[in-house]
Amino acid sequence: MAANLSVQSGGQLVVAALRAHGVEMAFSVAGESYLEVLDALYDAPEIRLITCRQEGGAAFMAETYGKLTGKPGVLLVTRGPGACNASIGVHTAFQDSTPMVVLVGQVARHQIDREAFQEVDFRKMFAPLAKWVTQIDLADRVPELMNQAFQVATSGRPGPVVVALPEDMLRDRHAAAVVGPFRAVRAHPGAADLAEMRRLLAAAERPIMLVGGSGWSDAAAADIARFAMANELPVCCSFRRQDIVDNRLPCFVGDLGTGAAPSLVARIKAADLVLAVGARIGEITSQGYTLFEVPDPGKTLIHVHAAAEELGRVFRPTLAMQSGMPEFATAAVALEPVARPRWQAWRAEARAEYEAGLVPTPLTASPPLDLGRIMTWLRERLPDDAIVTSDAGNFSGWPNRFLQYRRPGRQLGPTSGAMGYGVPAAVAAKLVYPGRVVVGFCGDGGFMMTGQELMTASSEGVGPIILLFNNAMYGTIRMHQERRFPG
């Protein structure tokens, strides 16, 4: 078959692979280490290449694209400094379980291990930050390893994959068959596990469902909401995953973020069954690993997650189920609901507590800026498909607490707590959905890290709304300083 294939450069094969895997948009800061890829992209007009101002912003944009679409966000950066700048966004994609494929230019093969100009061993550098790291040393292996990159990024628990591209490999010419598109592989829940889940649920007195993680399509989100409503289950969400279940539904009772309501934390502790679907139950969501005992939670814990290695990682579940979110939600909504569940009052009380928390506390003074009133004003006016992005910082507590989220609208924030996310995420969201209202919330600290990406928005002809909260300090750090070192 190779005799019928055209000879292409390694750079052309990389772009052919992007085409084969259905890539429509990619984010980059140009670098001389991968000029052949950039040249090949010139001949691929169906791939919209967004030129960003700094690799950190580009990485956040690619991560946002992956969150919004469920397809890998594609990032192209140069070796050394470019890769280092991008590493924060790669770490964010890893902790947020977001599919991403990062293409990094590398020094020529004969220069490796000589500490050549801008040389970094990317396998070592990205090992703890990415799901998989590889380097393509032979041009004829580009289709194989690019296919593997897309498969790994999207299958099981999604995450970032880093592919290093030596610059001389990109100039080599070979005939190779390009394959695609990728097909994400996800586990399905077993019938016996589903039956046991329903049995445990029917025996509960005070159950609550925790939803979170990635991999939720709009259809899966609608299915899990129908499952909760049919069984009258109270539903809370993990950190910055408030858009999974419509917050206006009577089953939604709040979020377990950095400012979780004490009443919700108390309910989780009082619950006799927790059904965790998609969430890793990490440090923020578990309130510093205090919601349950470690490793025995001290109550019935049903944990559903896409990755087997997350099941029992900190808390030992009564029932562990490996499944993708669409697969679990489809199966769960098909189960016979629990007849006349005994926890209707429990759910109603939890909902009432959540609704009470939506009302800002009246201020005794009259500040020049009443953020509680501003958030309630926004809550009443943002359209159902609005996309809200949030940077890291104390200011984010306002949109987290007082706004309400629903599909197809989205809440996009870094569960990694990375500063600088808000502006690039808003720009990327507006690029993906130019017809929607996109509002980005940023503190002055995070804005100063990546605010230059507003120029990217301008050059691409899109205009997200950015709300900048300027307290002239790193407010979260100041708060911790005042707590630990008052005065």
- CATH assignment, 191-357: 3.40.50.1220
Is the predicted pLDDT of residue 290 greater than 50, yes or no?
yes
pLDDT of 2 reads: 54
Q: Can you tell me the distance from the alpha carbon of 50 to that of 456, in angstroms, rounded to the nearest whole number?
A: 8
Tens digits of residue pLDDT in 169-205: 999 999 999 999 999 999 999 999 999 999 999 999 9
Give the pLDDT mean for 210-224: 97
pLDDT of 101 reads: 98
Is the predicted pLDDT of residue 37 greater than 70, yes or no?
yes
pLDDT of 369 reads: 85
Sign of the dihedral through C-alpha 365, 360, 210, 343? positive
Give the pLDDT mean for 407-430: 96
What ranges make up the beta strands (E) of 11-119? 25-28, 48-51, 73-77, 100-106
Tens digits of residue pLDDT in 97-135: 999 999 999 999 999 999 999 999 999 999 999 999 999
The better pLDDT of the pair 348, 5 is held by 348
Burial readout 92-117 (b: 16 or more C-beta within 10 A, e: otherwise): bbbbbbbbbbbbbbbbeeeebeeeee
Which among 51, 123, 125, 119 is positioned nearest to 88, based on CA atoms? 125
Is the predicted pLDDT of residue 1 greater than 50, yes or no?
no
Percentage of residues in the chain having pLDDT higher than 70: 99
pLDDT of 473 reads: 83
Considering the chain, tell me which residue range(s) the CATH 3.40.50.970 domain(s) occupy. 2-174, 371-484
Q: Is 369 exposed, middle or buried (0-12, 13-18, 19+ CB in 10 A)?
A: exposed
Q: Give the type of residue at 205.
A: E
- CATH assignment, 2-174: 3.40.50.970
pLDDT of 126 reads: 97
Considering the chain, tell me which residue range(s) the CATH 3.40.50.1220 domain(s) occupy. 191-357
Q: Can you tell me the distance from the alpha carbon of 464 to that of 398, in angstroms, rounded to the nearest whole number?
A: 19
Is the predicted pLDDT of residue 399 greater than 60, yes or no?
yes
The C-alpha angle 430, 240, 29, rounded to 5 degrees, equals 40
Tens digits of residue pLDDT in 433-444: 999 999 999 999
Structure-token pair, residue 228: 């909760």
pLDDT of 487 reads: 84
Please state the pTM of the whole predicted model: 0.95
Give the pLDDT mean for 380-397: 95
pLDDT band at 480; cut points 50, 70, 90: confident
- CATH assignment, 371-484: 3.40.50.970
Sheet holding 410-412, edge to edge: 410-412, 387-390, 438-443, 465-469
pLDDT of 3 reads: 57
pLDDT of 147 reads: 98
Q: Can you tell me the distance from the alpha carbon of 70 to that of 400, in angstroms, rounded to the nearest whole number?
A: 23
pLDDT band at 327; cut points 50, 70, 90: very high
Q: Can you tell me the distance from the alpha carbon of 126 to that of 132, in angstroms, rounded to the nearest whole number?
A: 8
Percentage of residues in the chain having pLDDT higher than 90: 91
pLDDT of 198 reads: 98
pLDDT of 311 reads: 97
Give the pLDDT mean for 300-305: 98
Residue with structure tokens 């924060």? 88
Contacts of 443 (CB under 8 A, 6+ apart): 391, 392, 393, 394, 395, 396, 419, 468, 469, 470, 471, 475
Across the chain, mean pLDDT equals 96
Is the predicted pLDDT of residue 149 greater than 60, yes or no?
yes
Structure-token pair, residue 441: 């919330």
Tens digits of residue pLDDT in 50-76: 999 999 999 999 999 999 999 999 999
| Cα separation values, 205 from 208, 246, 296, 300, Å | 10, 24, 20, 11
Which among 392, 358, 362, 394 is positioned nearest to 378, based on CA atoms? 358
Segment (H or E) for 457: helix 453-460
Which among 450, 387, 462, 396 is positioned nearest to 423, based on CA atoms? 450
Is the predicted pLDDT of residue 214 greater than 60, yes or no?
yes
| Cα separation values, 460 from 52, 434, 449, 457, Å | 10, 11, 20, 5
pLDDT of 364 reads: 76
